[in-house]
Structures are given as C-alpha cells and as structure tokens.
Amino acid sequence: MDILGTTLRVCVDDLDAAVDFYERLTGGRALRFERGGVSVAAVGCFLLMSGPESELEVLRKVAATISVQDVDAAFTSLTEAGAKVLAGPVPTPAGRNLIAVHPDGSVFEYVDQRRDQGVIRNS
C-alpha cells in the first residue's frame, strides 16, 4: 500500500475562526462539508472538525487520516497485516474511507481522494 500523505485532525469549537487562521497559515482555501452532524473543513494538511461533543468524542479517537491510492487495496493490506477494519470502505464527500485499528491499538482513517474534489494531498 502506498501512503500518499497524512492529514492532521483538529477538533475546534469555532470552525469559522479556525478556518480563517488555517487559511492564513497555509495560504490555501478550505473545502467545507458536513458529515454525520459534524461540520468539517479541509485546509492544507489540516482537517478541522466542529460539532456536538458526543460526535467529536468519537472523532478524537482517530489519530490521523492517511491518504492512499485505493481504499480497497488498503483494506487488503491492513487485514493481511493484522489490523481490524471497524468501518468501511464507504463513500464520503471526498472519496472513500475506512477506519482501522492497528494491532497496537492505534486507530486511523484511510482515504482515497479524488483530485476533482479539491482535497489536499501532501508529500
């Protein structure tokens, strides 16, 4: 599995203020969307999330988002290496994702991103 980049997940109270800061910091524009009652903005390598504490509590358990070429291939690689896939692959506004627990207990989101959606990749 080729890892194309990572996205840092940040839970914030005021999404608009956070977007302003991160757009200035990165020089990029935010891609905004809603997901399960949570407002999300992708800015550079940051994924900003704001919403009900009950939703954010779950999201905080995911250490990072990892970009891959193909979530189906990641599913195969992860399960063959001993990870447990908790959810997915499922479609999202920016491609497809899955959530996996590594054998050490770390939880990661894996995404394959469509370039036409404006979602960031970092090297």
Q: What is the pLDDT of residues 52-83, one digit of tens each?
A: 999 999 889 999 999 999 999 999 999 999 99
Q: What is the pTM of this model?
A: 0.77
What total of structural domains would you count in the chain? Answer: 1
Strands 64-68 and 107-113: parallel
Whether 83 is in a domain gets the answer: yes
Average pLDDT score, the chain: 89
Query: How much of the chain, in percent, has pLDDT values that exceed 70?
Result: 92
End-to-end CA distance of the chain: 15
Whether 122 is in a domain gets the answer: no
Whether 42 is in a domain gets the answer: yes
Whether 123 is in a domain gets the answer: no
Provide CB contacts within 8 A for 55, sequence distance 6+: 36, 37, 38
CATH of the domain at 52: 3.10.180.10
**pLDDT recorded at residue 120:** 40
Whether 95 is in a domain gets the answer: yes
**pLDDT recorded at residue 114:** 58
Quote the domain boundaries for residue 81: 3-117
- What's the mean pLDDT in 114-119? 45
Provide CB contacts within 8 A for 53, sequence distance 6+: none
Q: Is 77 helix (H, G, I), strand (E, B) or coil?
A: helix
Looking at the DSSP bridge assignments, the partners of residue 110 are: 66, 98
**pLDDT recorded at residue 90:** 92
Neighbours of 57 (CB within 10 A): 10
Whether residue 17 has pLDDT greater than 60: yes
Which two tokens mark 112? Answer: 């394959």
Position 25 confidence tier, pLDDT thresholds 50, 70, 90: very high
Q: What is the pLDDT of residues 27-45, one digit of tens each?
A: 999 999 988 889 999 999 9
Whether 12 is in a domain gets the answer: yes
